A and B are shown apart, each in its own frame.
Chain A
């Protein structure tokens, strides 16, 4: 408990909130290195996942790629990319690392959302004369959204916790007090940094949970009853570890 109160004292100390490494600056860095890679990953993975879900083709390849991406250690990847890109391009190295971390959950969320839709709904839409494009945008995308947002939640959680290791290659973020605390044996700074990461993660997750609920209602209204998505909780359950 001394450690915990020490951590809160450390967080409350005005000295932590001034200067180039002020906690709010680190918080923004952490947020930046979370949101930018997730946005890039979404731009790649969502259209791809939708294409797989709509056509039903390429699923096995996607599962294989996602599995392989998950097996890559983010820490090692970050170090490798820093060495390959050069010291001047560390931010790019970090973004690429976290994009790769975010892709599997988003990709799976996108196609699993389509797969969870009752085939009869899609067939009915086709029978009513909807074009493939209309089926995609007016049936599959809205009904698949809850699982997609579930995938987004998993990837945001993974990335926001993993961005901590960016401090190891001097990119700042909330990992900085954790890493410096590590070498200086200042455990209250380690715990204080961890608390801030957890708070940031919980806030982001709560926002996305609200978004998930909002799109779910839309899905239920569009589909009535049992047609709705498979249990969206499943995805966040089986996500990969934070870093």
Chain B
């Protein structure tokens, strides 16, 4: 406990670094997944391919990805860019499936009705498909956010400083309180972001609480 009180500044600085790295990756992953998920959903032939490739990304150990990417792309392993890109790749691996599943969960009759009342493809996507897929996509985004924040700690093993520093440093100096403080800080950040996403979802999609989409979203969220 004394260790924590003596090092609040350090924990705060690391937490800010951690938050910045994770949030950039979560947002980038989300933005990339929307078109990718849509393509996978719209074109049956591409679907298996996209799902297989994103599934493959999943099996790469993060530690290896953090080492290999800089060698291939030519930036230093210790740069924040390296960690953010690796985290974005994992975020995409989760989110593409969530976007595809979300678009799948829409009743085709609703889509035909939208077309019948004169919605073009583009307008229908933004005004009908995306909002209705929202609850499932949000469930995927929440899982992505929490796991990105907790995974980011691995960055310290290639020299990207964030809350993971408290783990390696705590192990070397054998300070249990330091490691514990790191775990608690990561968990708190993850749960706060998760809560914010949930609140944002309720505010943006008030209908989701009452309709069938909710059940689908809950199943997706639950079964993750």
A sample of 8 inter-chain contacts (CB < 8 A) reads A66-B222, A73-B183, A154-B224, A157-B58, A175-B61, A182-B67, A205-B59, A241-B147
Contact of A243 with B62 at beta-carbon distance under 8 Å, contacts A67-B191, A75-B164 already known? yes
Interface majority SS on B: helix, strand, loop or mixed?
helix
Question: What is the 8 Å Cβ interface bit string for chain A, positions 118-161, against chain B (1 contact, 0 not)?
Answer: 00000000000000000000000000000100110010010011
Complex Cα gap A109–B171 (Å): 35
What is the interface of chain A, defined by CB distance below 8 A to chain B? 3, 63, 66-68, 70-77, 79-80, 82-84, 104-105, 108-109, 111-112, 115-116, 147, 150-151, 154, 157, 160-162, 164-165, 168-169, 174-175, 178-179, 181-182, 187, 190-191, 193-194, 197-198, 201-202, 205, 230-231, 233-243
Which of A75, A197, A234 contacts B101, CB < 8 Å? A234
Pair A72/B183 contact, Cβ less than 8 Å: yes
Complex Cα gap A201–B61 (Å): 10
Pair B182/A241 contact, Cβ less than 8 Å: no
**Listed stretches B9-17, B112-120, B138-146; interface member:** B138-146
B-chain residues with CB within 8 Å of residue A169 when the two chains form the complex: 171
Complex Cα gap A160–B68 (Å): 19
Pair A179/B150 contact, Cβ less than 8 Å: no
Contact of A240 with B153 at beta-carbon distance under 8 Å, contacts A76-B186, A80-B180, A190-B68 already known? no
Minimum CB–CB distance from B93 to chain A (whole Å) comes to 8
Asked if B106 CB lies within 8 Å of chain A CBs, one says: no
Pair A237/B140 contact, Cβ less than 8 Å: yes
Asked if B104 CB lies within 8 Å of chain A CBs, one says: yes
Minimum CB–CB distance from B154 to chain A (whole Å) comes to 6
Pair B191/A241 contact, Cβ less than 8 Å: no
Pair A191/B223 contact, Cβ less than 8 Å: no
Pair B183/A77 contact, Cβ less than 8 Å: yes
Interface majority SS on A: helix, strand, loop or mixed?
helix
Minimum CB–CB distance from B153 to chain A (whole Å) comes to 4
Q: Determine which residue in A73, A104, A162 has the highest number of CB atoms from chain B within 10 A of its CB, and name it.
A: A73
Complex Cα gap A63–B224 (Å): 11
Pair A235/B223 contact, Cβ less than 8 Å: yes
Which of B62, B68, B97, B170 contacts A242, CB < 8 Å? B62
Pair A79/B187 contact, Cβ less than 8 Å: no
Complex Cα gap A83–B121 (Å): 57
Pair B164/A76 contact, Cβ less than 8 Å: yes
Complex Cα gap A157–B146 (Å): 17
Asked if B46 CB lies within 8 Å of chain A CBs, one says: no
Pair B98/A80 contact, Cβ less than 8 Å: no
